Amino acid sequence: MEIWHLALARDWDFATAAGDYRVSTRGATLDEVGFIHCARPDQVPGVAARFYADVADPLAILVMDDDAVRASGVDVRYEDGGGGELFPHVYGALDPAWVRAVVTAHIADGQLIIE
């Protein structure tokens, strides 16, 4: 299954230079939360509206396959994000090699615009 992670583009740029991505969600690290928040493609607009609506900086959508992440030995769990909706959570740092595509995006009028 394809999973997406919504990131600030500058965080992703830093991660590719550093060798791994450790931001769980906006303003929180993997070390603080214990996992990296991801979403199915259909969930990303809601995540953007809830957590990134006021962001003017460029965004990056990291597109991964949960089977590839699991094959590396990192756990992916589908857990309740609140209200009974299950979201994929990656229990480890993201390896840039897992990212099959990086889709640029931004927020306009509180909505996610995929470029």
Helices marked H in the chain:
9-18, 30-33, 44-51, 66-71
The model's pLDDT over 42-94, given as tens digits with 9 standing for 90+, comes to 999 999 999 999 999 999 999 999 999 999 999 999 999 888 999 999 999 99
Q: How many CA atoms lie within 13 A of 33 on its CB side?
A: 18
The tally of domains found in the chain comes to: 1
Cβ neighbours of residue 21 under 8 Å, at least 6 residues apart?
5, 7, 11, 12, 15, 36, 62, 93, 94, 95, 96
What per-residue confidence (pLDDT) applies to 81?
86
Per-residue pLDDT at 82: 83
Residue 79's domain comprises: 2-114
Give the CATH number for residue 11: 3.20.170.20
> pTM (2 decimals)?
0.94
Residue type present at position 104: T
